[in-house]
Structure 1
Amino acid sequence: MAIRNWRQNKLAVVEDEDEACDVEEESLLQVAKNNVTEDFGSDVSLKGTDSLLVVDEMDEEDITEEPSVMDTTLDESIFKAYDIRGIVGKSLTEDAVYAIGMALGSEARAQGETKIVVARDGRNSGPALLARLSDGLRAAGVDVISIGMVPTPVLYFAAQTIGSGSGVMVTGSHNPPDYNGLKMVIAGTTLASEQIQDLLQRIKEKRFESGKGRVREQDVIPQYIKRITGDVMLLKKLKVVIDCGNGAAGAVAPQLMNELGCDVVELFCEVDGNFPNHHPDPSRPENLQDLIAAVKEQQADIGLAFDGDGDRIGVVTNEGTIIWPDRTMMLYAMDILSRNPGAEIIYDVKCSRNLAKVIREHGGVATMWKTGHSFIKRKLKESGAQLAGEMSGHIFFKERWYGFDDGMYS
């Protein structure tokens, strides 16, 4: 298959009501922070030929003189079922993110973890929130590997390959510009439901570890691209229109497709946290109209659209037709079952019953599960299934990949 057979993969996404949030009609709150993590002063040293930034020590005052963690009043509404999410500067503040960082670091240490990979998407509030997250993690005694501005799947990849399975992504996903949030993985488990509520309880009870964690920066995009190009081979050169909606996928997807040998037409691939062209949510047909027009105009083979953090994908055919994700899941399932007879395939409750029929007809085990990327990932890990997918456009490959949702790999 080419990118799991790009010529056949015809996928589109619909709105995931469980992930959707109530959008308040308020103006964008710009976070007036410099795009700097912190002033390391004389404690900074560059080590190794790759010149990764390493902080050997934190000043004592950097840890102890943080009254905000004790005094912060948290808006509990930000602790959602799948992630942490809110309006920046209102429900989601920098002090809240610092406290959450301390709670995450403390929980990681309780599970024997000593380092966490962190990253952010392209939202304007990302640099300041990532800095406070890193501060909180380090104050809890956890070492931080910062990989900068990347799509969420790259963070998951880094957590698996250069970390110990732990990572935190600062992302607002497909939500409006004034939103941001956190997607969290500790020791290979995506936090959801009770684990997220446990973080809130830990903050309320001030059950924090303390320490002097270090931080270093690393670029993992080349490694991510190399891993995919080493796994995927195109059957023929394809002309592909890519609409990144000015989201973080623009930092990776065009380069990835070029290195796979595609003729790439870029549409809104410049990362811009204001999302000036259209909302980065490919589940809404109105957000795919520019892509459809470009595919027809360019006479492309296929059009791909990504959400704000690149973990969901929308696809249109060469004729500009939007195809539902459960139809694409049928193609994926048939391909995987041809190599893995009897494999289990997981799908969410919103998918068509025809998907289960196709899975069974090809010798697979069809398992319906509740909607939510965190729930699906957990079930995938527990069951040993080879593939999972949602009608929202999250696709999870376990065969030859890592089991996380990745719009670019899909």
Structure 2
Amino acid sequence: MSYTFDPTVLREYDIRGIIGETLGTDDARAIGRGFGTLLAREGGKKVAVGYDGRVSSPVLEKALIEGLNASGIDVVSVGMGPTPMLYYAEASMNDVQGGIQITGSHNPANYNGFKMVFMGRPFFGADIQKIGRMAAEGDWDDGTGTSETRDILDEYVERLLKGLDGLPADKLQSLRIGWDAGNGAAGPALEMLTNRMPGEHFLLYTEVDGNFPNHHPDPTEEKNLADLKALVAEKKLDFGVAFDGDADRIGAVDGEGRVIWGDQLLMIYAQDLLKMVPGATIIADVKASRALFDTVAQYGGEPLMWKTGHSLIKSKMKETGSPLAGEMSGHVFFKHEYYGYDDALYAGIRLIAASMRLGKSVTQMRGDMPQMLNTPEMRFQVDESRKFAAIEEVKARLAATDAEVNGIDGVRVNTSDGWWLLRASNTQDVLVARAESDTEEGLDRLMAQIDEQLALSGLQRGPQAGH
């Protein structure tokens, strides 16, 4: 029995496709067969499975479980919920050796996919390619596994609340916060969480709806934060928190409606964390502001720049023992007093805790940040066959100059008054560009350098590509 996946589906960090076109129940079954076989060969016996609020998720879950069972693996189904709830199941259940979440994350409603954890580590890159090879060769073990359901939502929410332990009750009681679940999988967990928390909480779009009727659940795009900003302004709230479709990425706005981007949130978390863990290594991706790396150093931490991608960052955390890491895209990873995976609900709790412990409002901390001028993340379509080659050409040209280049993930060029970045996306046929400077003139000059390098490779910044 061999099976062939659509070549576009096996991605760097996860498996993802368009329902009815490139992804369906046969794929889910084959993923279960491959993952189950690999786990069994490593001595594993049981996998936790969860799914998000997309319309296609329940049928994919059924097929995935069939595939796992057919390879002799037992399944604990934790039901519909955020991706971090599945990660929590995998981290906290003693009898489970792996986890799979069915989720389309922040992609359009007709997409879906799979995020995986294997023996306590992220399962990505070469692992995912191996699933493809095993399917093509029919290299699957046969067996008969069992399936059971466990409701862990209550336990998960109680674990999130531990993040507020030891904080002054009167101060917590005076908090007024807005939350936007974006009709994504965070909704039920968020309702339960805010019901058990002190303070006043105002919730938007907690009803799970895979068609996302109110706005697209991607808090890294400012237009998707409009409703949250309006709520914060209307109710005069302290700040607001938003989630992506599967709640592993956080977005936030302060009391004045200013967006707090991923790297800026990390600046707040870092200040709080370095008081408790002096000298800690804090990791951020190559898209993050120089201000973040400077802030970490200023508070006595060790800043470490690493490749973009939640699986890559998690692996680097394990390797370095880092207690905190984050990405521009709103993935924030707490190993300190937590499990090291990206959980936006927990990140929301830690934002409250940081504000309390540092004795400053979120709005004040946002206002105190250095006023860097930076571009948003610019994404433009480049043919799949050209995207990595173009970056290599840029690297080669810059190597012949005295430019200060960090080549860890694409090309990040540091200048006296800022930096610019050009990298190939691992998940789409796009190049990503970003620049930051102290002045408008500096920013224009850096953008011109990007455009010059693109032109030398026969490319130009075309219209913006979506995620």
Short-chain TM bin: 0.7 to 0.9
Number of paired residues? Answer: 341
Instruction: Judge which range, 339-348 or 114-123, deviates more.
Output: 339-348
Residues 197-235 of structure 1 deviation map (CA, whole Å, 9 limit, x = unaligned) = 111111111111111100100011111111122332454
Give yes or no for the alignment of 1:188 onto 2:188.
no
Larger Rg: 2
Secondary structure of the residue aligned to 2:282 is strand
Structure 2: gaps (5+ residues): 348-467
Distance 1:377 1:107 in 2: 21
Residues 313-357 of structure 1 deviation map (CA, whole Å, 9 limit, x = unaligned) = 111111211122212211211211112122111100000112111
Q: Does the 8 Å contact 1:254/1:264 carry over to 2?
A: no
Identical counterparts, % of pairs: 47
Residues 177-199 of structure 1 deviation map (CA, whole Å, 9 limit, x = unaligned) = 10000000110111111111111
Distance 1:90 1:106 in 2: 26
Counterpart in the other structure of 1:156: 87
Secondary structure of the residue aligned to 1:148 is strand
Give yes or no for the alignment of 1:409 onto 2:346.
yes
Give yes or no for the alignment of 1:131 onto 2:67.
no
Counterpart in the other structure of 1:236: 172
Give yes or no for the alignment of 1:382 onto 2:319.
yes
Q: Does the 8 Å contact 2:2/2:137 carry over to 1?
A: no
Distance 2:264 2:272 in 1: 13
Distance 1:399 1:261 in 2: 23
Offset of 1:72 from its aligned partner?
4.0
Counterpart in the other structure of 1:396: 333
Q: Does the 8 Å contact 2:185/2:246 carry over to 1?
A: yes
Counterpart in the other structure of 1:7: none
Counterpart in the other structure of 2:38: 107
Instruction: Judge which range, 302-311 or 237-246, deviates more.
Output: 237-246
Which structure's relative contact order is higher, taking Cα pairs within 8 Å and 6+ residues apart?
1
Structure 2 counterpart of 1:222, which letter?
Answer: D
Aligned counterparts, 1:190-269, within 5 A: 190-233=122-165, 235-237=171-173, 238-269=175-206
Offset of 1:262 from its aligned partner?
3.1
Counterpart in the other structure of 1:54: none
Structure 1: gaps (5+ residues): 1-69
Residues 282-304 of structure 1 deviation map (CA, whole Å, 9 limit, x = unaligned) = 11111110111111111211111
In proportion to residue count, which structure has more helix? 2
Secondary structure of the residue aligned to 1:236 is helix
Distance 1:316 1:196 in 2: 36
Structure 2 counterpart of 1:82, which letter?
Answer: Y
Distance 1:244 1:341 in 2: 34
Offset of 1:364 from its aligned partner?
1.3
Offset of 1:113 from its aligned partner?
1.0
Secondary structure of the residue aligned to 2:178 is strand
Structure 2 counterpart of 1:194, which letter?
Answer: A
Offset of 1:89 from its aligned partner?
1.4
Structure 1 counterpart of 2:126, which letter?
Answer: E
Give yes or no for the alignment of 1:144 onto 2:54.
no
Structure 2 counterpart of 1:236, which letter?
Answer: L
After TM superposition, the score normalised by the length of structure 2 is: 0.72
Secondary structure of the residue aligned to 1:169 is strand
Residues 252-291 of structure 1 deviation map (CA, whole Å, 9 limit, x = unaligned) = 0122122121312111110001111110111111111011
Offset of 1:73 from its aligned partner?
3.7
Distance 1:125 1:388 in 2: 32
